[in-house]
Structure 1
Amino acid sequence: MEKYGNNNGDSGISGFEIGNNFIHVEFSTGSIYEYTYSSAGESNIKTMINLARSGSGLNSFINTHVKNKYSRKIR
């Protein structure tokens, strides 16, 4: 799991892992969710990957666009 940059210092996300067609997002609660092309849509996943790499805006994007579109809860 790669550490999320959290550039604004107020994110509920602590880490992420990127795969070919998915992103795993670890929240500060310790929960990890998997978002895939199938569950959330390819364009949303690509946006999430860009936001994760930039360290800003991922939590807001998830809450606004894909909150319940995860494929599974890993932890």
Structure 2
Amino acid sequence: MKKYRSADLDTGVIAYETEADSISVKFRDGSVYVYTNKSAGPAAIAEMKILAEKGVGLTTYINRHVREHYEKKLR
């Protein structure tokens, strides 16, 4: 997983990993959630990837738009 740029600040997301149709997000508590085109929608996944690469706004986006729309929780 790639370190999320804002991970040193007060944010919930600390790392992420993207694939063609999904993004896995690791949170400060160690949990990892996988969001997919099927579970959250292609537009949301595209936006999450952009925010992840920028290193800002991903936690807020998840909380406001896709919080419960994950495909699975890994840990």
- Quick check: TM above 0.5? yes
Runs of 4+ in 1 over 6 A off after TM superposition: none
Q: Distance in 1 between matches of 2:7 and 2:14?
A: 11
CA–CA distance in 2 between the matches of 1:9 and 1:20?
28
Report the structure, 1 or 2, having the larger helix content.
Answer: 2
Residue 11 of structure 1: aligned partner: 11
How far residue 17 of structure 1 moved from its aligned partner, in angstroms, is: 0.2
Partner SS, residue 6 of structure 1? helix
- TM-score for the superposition, normalised by structure 1: 0.96
Identity of aligned residues (%): 41
**Tell me, which stretches of 5 or more residues in structure 1 are unaligned?**
none
Tell me how many residue pairs correspond in the alignment: 75
Shift of 1:74: 0.8
